[in-house]
Structures are given as C-alpha cells and as structure tokens.
Structure 1
Amino acid sequence: MLNHVLHNREGRRVALIVNDMSEVNIDADLVREGGAKLSRTEEKLVELSNGCICCTLRDDLLAEVRRLAEDGRFDYLLIESSGISEPLPVAGTFSFRDEAGQSLSDVARLDTMVTVVDAASLLKDYGSHELLADRGQVAGEGDARSLIDLLVEQIEFADVVVINKVSEVSPAERGHVRAVVRGLNADCRIVETDFGRAPLTDILDTGLFDEEKAERHPMWFKELHGFKDHVPETEEYGIESFVYRARRPFEPARFAAFIQASWPGLIRAKGHFWLATRPDWAGEFSLAGAIVRTSPLGRWWASIDRREWPDHAEWRRHLMTRWDESWGDRRQELVFIGHGMDEAAVRAALDACLLASADDFRPAAWAKLPDPFPRWGHSQAA
C-alpha cells in the first residue's frame, strides 16, 4: 500500500517514516525496490530501526517529525509503524510535550490512523491462541501479548481499515471478515482492496482522526456507555450487540464455566462483574476471538469508607445514579458484540450464573462457595 501511495501521489510531496523491529529494515527496502524512486528533492524515506515507535523510539520519532515539518518541503508524512506496534501510543506521541514544552502538534496534524487487514488470514488469526512470542515478534523482554490482543487494538483504534487480498477469499469469507472488523469498530471507514490499491482520498487528508473521539472509540465502550450513533452502520453489516446488566453476584464456579464455553458468532465482549466470594472487588472481563481474560479492576465504592470518597459533588451525584440500597454500586455490566450470535442463549446462561439465593447483601454466607478464579487481593475469602 505504501508503494501504491508513492506511485500515485497526485502532486503531493510525501515524506515516509518506516519503522521495523529488526536492525535491517526490510519494509524500507521493499519500498525502495517497489519502483517509487523517491526523489531527493520531493520525497524522503526515513528508517527507524531496531525498536518500535510505541516504546523505545518515541524520542527519535519526535525529533524526526519535527525536523521534516520544519524542512518545509513536504505536504504529507506517512508513518508506517512496526506491525507489532499499538496505535494509541503512536497517536499519543503527537500530543505529548517534552521537557522544553514542545509538541509535534505544534508543527503537524495527525490526520488518519489506518490499519491494513489481511483478508486471507484474519479469520484464522482471530481464532488463534498464539502469543506474539510464538511468532518471534515481541516489542521487548516481557512482552506477553497475544496475537489477538494486537489485532483487536489495531482494528479498534483505526479511522480506516483496509481489507486487503479480498480476491483470495470467497464471498462468504469476505462477509465474515467485514463482520469481525465492523464488530470491533463500528465507525471506521472500510476499504476493500487487492495489492493495497486503496483510493488515496480514502486514506490521505481524510480529517477522520479525533483525539477525544478516539478515547471512547471501541464499539464495546459505545454500547456500555450508551453512545448509539453507530446503530445503522452495525445493522447494515449484520452486527448485533446487547448489554447484560444484573445486581446479584455471580456464583464463581458457574461464571467460570460460562467464560470457558464456546459461543458461536460472538466477536467481542467486555465489561465488569462481581463474584459472591469477592464482594469488595470489581472484576474485568474481556473476550476477543479465542482469548478470554478476567482480572481485578478495582474495589467497589460500596466497600470503601465514605470518609475516603472524593469530595466532589458531581462525582457523588453520578455514583448515586448507579447506587442500590442493598448492593451499593456492585453490579454486572457486560457488553456482547457478535454476528449471528444467540442473544437469548447468552442471557439465559448468564442468568443461571447469578446466585439464586441472593435477595440481599450477605457476603458471610457466600464466603465458602467454590471459587476457581486466581486470587485478586488480601480481602478476598480464601
């Protein structure tokens, strides 16, 4: 796609930064050899190697973009970060101010975040349990991300998703790929291509990036917090979504069985929950493809002495909108997004996870229930 852009600049003077994790920058070599023949006077290719933009090379990126902008010879800068880079830190680099108070936003405007998806491999990868380390692609020591973690992050944050190699898949597979992309990102512009030949007007000078919007961009966030502007788009692509809410706690063993089950058509799920054995703790639930995670999110305000609550009237009013006489702010709130999923079956299964005998808050009576989840905190029952 980079070669395509450079072949069809339509009068734009383009600078290109190509980032790669290896010492020998293969991607930059491919661009050079692709026939674009970058002019020393009109285009510039800059290589940032042996690191990724989202971590070790941030200072290099700051310096290089500022230098290119101040040079005054370029209309547009394309940055291709490493394939394992997360887009949010790259975007954040543009609003970051260094110790001298300087920022890239003073000299450049972040226009569009583009993710290129391989139609021929997305469905297989989305069902994978592989870690990035299994493919020899990590950002550094201790990088324990899964392949799906990266796919979801890059698709959810994109303004434009280019689905490439569409001629290599059947019409049915193409529809499934579209559904996964739209299920993860309701607002992105989808462009379908072969050989990366996306129309330049779809990826350059779009004005689509909005920092405030990006902070609440994922579809699960919109569903959970009531942003409904995306509904017509999702209906067009056959995407279904719903939010499951309940006050009673989950019985741990039943909820553990639920998250280990297979739910056909489910693309993404996210939210918070609470277990009868852990009345102080809000748990976080996240599902993407074949990867399911639960972790502690923090303590419910109901478990904290009110004298320690923030002394902020608006905050307290907001909390009280979610307050229950028996449960406080404890609640189940999970969003599910899918294509052809059985909402009724998922809801029924979650209802069956709720503690049947819990009419009011009695944690001492639940403390000895079987709990297969890893330990979260000191206040949890053993």
Structure 2
Amino acid sequence: MNDVIPVTLLSGSLGAGKTTLVNHLLSTADDTELAVLVNDMGTVNVDAELVADGSELDIDDGVAELSNGCICCELQDDLETAVVRLARDRSFDHLVVEPSGISEPAPIAQLFTTESRVAALYDVDAIVTVLDTPLFLDQFSDTTVPERRGTDADRPLSDLLVEQVELSNVVLLNKADQCTDDELTEARSLVGGLQPTATQIETTFSAVAPDRLLGIDRFAATAIDSLPGWQRALSEEEAEHTHDHHTENHDEHTHPDEVYGVSSTTVCRHQPVSPDQFATFLRELPTGVIRAKGTVWLAGSDTRITISQAGPSITATAQGPWIASLPAVDREMYRSNRPDLPWHDEHGDRRTELVFIGTDYDETAIETELTNTFVDAAAAVPPETHPFPTEEGEETVLRAP
C-alpha cells in the first residue's frame, strides 16, 4: 500500500446511483483493495447497509459509516476522525467517500487537501458526479416535473446539481437507458458548458470499468483548466483588464465560446446597476440560460453582491464591502496584498461582472437588457428599499423554482 492513499469523492443527487456505483466498484475492482465511507441523512445509515448487502464486506469490515448528518458540515469532525482511523487501522489501496445526496463536494475535498492530519494520509484522486440524467434534464427544461424535483426544502435542487457538476472531474450520465439520443446529446451539452474539462461517461445502473474512475489522478485544486465554465470565462475577462488603470468605464465584452454547443457571454463594466431594474432583468432571464454567475455593483451601495443562477433558481449574496469603500489605510493594505486585484482609477474594484452560459438563448438580447439596467455612478441615488441583501453573509432568493 502506498504511503499516501488516493481518494475518490462521489457526488450526486439522492437516487442518482451512487450506492449502486459503490457496489459495482466493490465487486469489479479486483486488483484494488477498497475502503468505503458512506453517509446518509437518516438515523439508520441506509446507504451503508446497502453497500454491505451488495458486497462481501461486513458493515464493520471495510465500510465506515456516519449517520445523522451531512459529512461536509455537521459531521466534519467525525469525517476527519473516521478517515484517520481507517488509515491507521486498515490496509487498503483506495478510499471511496459517498456522501449524502445533498452534500456539496467542495468542503469534503478541502478536508483532504487542507487539514494536516488528513492531507498527510490521503490524496484526492478525482471527484466523480453521478447524474440522474432524466432528473438533470428536467431541472433545465421548460416544464419541470414537480414530483421529481427536490431533496432539500431549503435549497433548489438545480443549485446543487450545477455545483456538483462544476466541481467534477468525471460525470456519469447515469440512467442513460431512460433517455433518447437527443436527450443524451442535450445532457452532454449542459454538462460540457458547466464543466468543460470533465470526462463524461454514459452509464446504466452505474456500470463503468473501475479503471476509468480509480487511479486516474484527475483532481487539481488550483489548476486553471479545471475551472467551471463560468469561472473560466470570468478569469479570461479579468486577465484582459487586471492591469488596466484607465478612468473610463469598460464597455461590455462578449466572448461567445461554443463548448459542447453551449455558448457563454461575459459582461464587465465599472458601472453600477439599478437594483430594481437589475432584479427584474434576472427574474426574466430566458430558460435557455442554464447558469449565470458573477459580481454586481448596486447603485448607491458599498456592499459587493454576488449572483448565482442555476436553471430556475436565482440567489443573491452580500459578500461585504467593496475594497474601494474602505478607509485609505485599510484599502492600501488590502491592495498591497492583492497586486492582481482589478482596479479602476475612479471606481476601484467596484464593478459589474457577469457570465451567462446557456443554449439557444439570444445573446444580443441579454446584452441589451442588461445594458438598460446600468446607471451613472455619480448620479445614482440609493433606493429606499430593494430586493437585494444588505448584511454581509445574508442571502436573498430572487427567483425560486
């Protein structure tokens, strides 16, 4: 066994086929000794029972289970303890972590890359997302099937599905047998637009050769070519203007980039938007836009707002003050620590920077309608009320499924 143990992190909605995949790997990965850590949201760890029932392992022999919570948050300490104990007490070649279907993969990956006790023992090999492909398509279609929508009343499923895909190295388009060829093509397009570098594999009952998932060394926490589609587009835009110190506003810059049939449009201006008009613009985004993400400068406000749209859901989060609004000493100290921070001579870091990713949507109309929300920074008067959050960390739902 190697000194550092490779780890595969699984993500995917409830019922997508993660447990089926785990059992498939346990029964077919003949040359690899697997340890599996599974987590369920109930008081009885159903997934662990299913894994044990589907393999030759006993529930306490190679399967460590955590119950009563999500391992990326409530049971973070328990997860750390469990994986350290596994490495200490058992000999195995590869760890597979199957979290609850409503877990985000990023915090789990961070545990294996930033926590010294764990990072010294493990190395993330890949993040694999198992998609319920028909459900995934439902989330971004004109007619959503209500009874198939949701696993978490506090958060739209489309948000979670998008984030799981965006952080993936490999995406299994599971339940492919329930889709037509056109639907599979559409699913590939959507996944490709959200995460261009992910390997896509069509599966039925999560059946895939183990060597396509294990020991593939695909995870790179900071690699630029692993960025999600939206972040890649914004990074390219920022690179163009990082060292721009002119006083004039930038006009819109659109970079249509056909990736798997999905185009992206990026808009960047050192100019504020009217809160009410911008909120209306967001709520009326066409269904062809599957993902919108970015930072917004609200007229009359010193609070930086981030926007996250995933299919039918749109949320706005207050991230704290613009650096340009801080006292001079704090502002200069922050800038000295962030020499690559995009900075405008007049407006500093205040900017509206958004990317839109979608298929079959009118890019020109998006640009025009967004342009109509911009207002003059000097003449902008803060509205008495608006639909966006004002306190740091506060989140507002602008459109719900």
- Quickly name the TM-score band, shorter chain normalised: 0.7 to 0.9
Give the letter for the 2:378 counterpart: F
Structure 1 unaligned regions, length at least 5? 229-233
SS in 2 for 1:17: strand
Find the aligned partners of 1:95 and 1:32 in 2 and give their Cα distance.
Answer: 28
Q: Displacement, 1:270?
A: 0.7
Find the aligned partners of 1:159 and 1:371 in 2 and give their Cα distance.
Answer: 43
SS in 2 for 1:60: helix
Find the aligned partners of 1:80 and 1:377 in 2 and give their Cα distance.
Answer: 35
Give the letter for the 2:137 counterpart: L
Percent of matched pairs sharing the same residue: 35
Q: What residue is the counterpart of 2:34 in the other structure? A: 14
Give the letter for the 1:125 counterpart: Q
2:57 corresponds to 1:38: yes
2:336 corresponds to 1:322: no
Q: Is the 8 A contact 1:178 1:237 kept in 2?
A: yes
Give the letter for the 1:255 counterpart: F
Q: Is the 8 A contact 2:22 2:51 kept in 1?
A: yes
Q: Which of the residues 155, 166, 172 maps onto 2:165? A: 155
Find the aligned partners of 2:120 and 2:113 in 1 and give their Cα distance.
Answer: 9
Q: Is the 8 A contact 1:70 1:107 kept in 2?
A: no
Q: What residue is the counterpart of 2:320 in the other structure? A: 298
Q: Displacement, 1:167?
A: 1.4
Q: Is the 8 A contact 2:220 2:226 kept in 1?
A: no
Find the aligned partners of 1:304 and 1:108 in 2 and give their Cα distance.
Answer: 41
Find the aligned partners of 2:339 and 2:128 in 1 and give their Cα distance.
Answer: 39
Tell me the C-alpha RMSD between the 2 structures.
3.1
Structure 2 unaligned regions, length at least 5? 1-20, 239-256, 393-401
Give the letter for the 2:264 counterpart: S
2:259 corresponds to 1:263: no
Give the letter for the 2:328 counterpart: R
Q: What residue is the counterpart of 2:333 in the other structure? A: 311
Q: Is the 8 A contact 1:111 1:204 kept in 2?
A: yes
2:179 corresponds to 1:169: yes
Q: Displacement, 1:305?
A: 2.9
Give the letter for the 2:268 counterpart: R
Q: Deviations over 1:336-377 (max 9, x none)?
A: 11122221111111112223xx3x6234xx34x685424626
Find the aligned partners of 1:255 and 1:271 in 2 and give their Cα distance.
Answer: 13
Give the letter for the 1:44 counterpart: G
Q: What residue is the counterpart of 1:231 in the other structure? A: none
Find the aligned partners of 2:96 and 2:338 in 1 and give their Cα distance.
Answer: 45
Closer/same/farther in 2, CA of residues 374 and 70 from structure 1, 3 Å limit? closer
Q: Deviations over 1:64-114 (max 9, x none)?
A: 2223223452111111111111111111222344xxxx5112222221111
Closer/same/farther in 2, CA of residues 249 and 313 from structure 1, 3 Å limit? closer
Closer/same/farther in 2, CA of residues 114 and 172 from structure 1, 3 Å limit? same
2:364 corresponds to 1:344: yes
Q: What residue is the counterpart of 2:71 in the other structure? A: 53
Closer/same/farther in 2, CA of residues 371 and 106 from structure 1, 3 Å limit? same
Give the letter for the 1:296 counterpart: A
Q: Which structure has the larger Rg over C-alpha atoms?
A: 1
Q: Is the 8 A contact 2:52 2:58 kept in 1?
A: no
Q: Displacement, 1:236?
A: 5.0
SS in 2 for 1:74: coil
2:140 corresponds to 1:118: no
Q: Is the 8 A contact 2:49 2:59 kept in 1?
A: no
Find the aligned partners of 2:99 and 2:154 in 1 and give their Cα distance.
Answer: 19
Closer/same/farther in 2, CA of residues 40 and 3 from structure 1, 3 Å limit? closer
2:261 corresponds to 1:238: yes
Q: Is the 8 A contact 1:191 1:202 kept in 2?
A: no
Find the aligned partners of 2:298 and 2:335 in 1 and give their Cα distance.
Answer: 30
Q: What residue is the counterpart of 1:362 in the other structure? A: 379
Q: Which of the residues 199, 210, 213 maps onto 2:209? A: 199
Q: Which of the residues 165, 183, 194 maps onto 1:184? A: 194
Find the aligned partners of 2:259 and 2:272 in 1 and give their Cα distance.
Answer: 36
Find the aligned partners of 1:235 and 1:371 in 2 and give their Cα distance.
Answer: 39
The alignment's TM-score, normalised by the length of structure 2, stands at 0.78
Q: What residue is the counterpart of 1:353 in the other structure? A: 373
SS in 1 for 2:125: coil
The count of residues paired between Structure 1 and Structure 2 equals 352
Find the aligned partners of 2:33 and 2:311 in 1 and give their Cα distance.
Answer: 41
Closer/same/farther in 2, CA of residues 51 and 375 from structure 1, 3 Å limit? closer
Q: What residue is the counterpart of 1:109 in the other structure? A: 123
Q: What residue is the counterpart of 1:249 in the other structure? A: 272
2:305 corresponds to 1:283: yes
Q: Displacement, 1:226?
A: 1.2
Q: Which of the residues 64, 67, 82 maps onto 2:85? A: 67
Find the aligned partners of 1:312 and 1:150 in 2 and give their Cα distance.
Answer: 33
Q: What residue is the counterpart of 1:90 in the other structure? A: 108
Q: Is the 8 A contact 1:129 1:146 kept in 2?
A: no
Q: Is the 8 A contact 2:288 2:361 kept in 1?
A: yes
Find the aligned partners of 1:334 and 1:188 in 2 and give their Cα distance.
Answer: 23
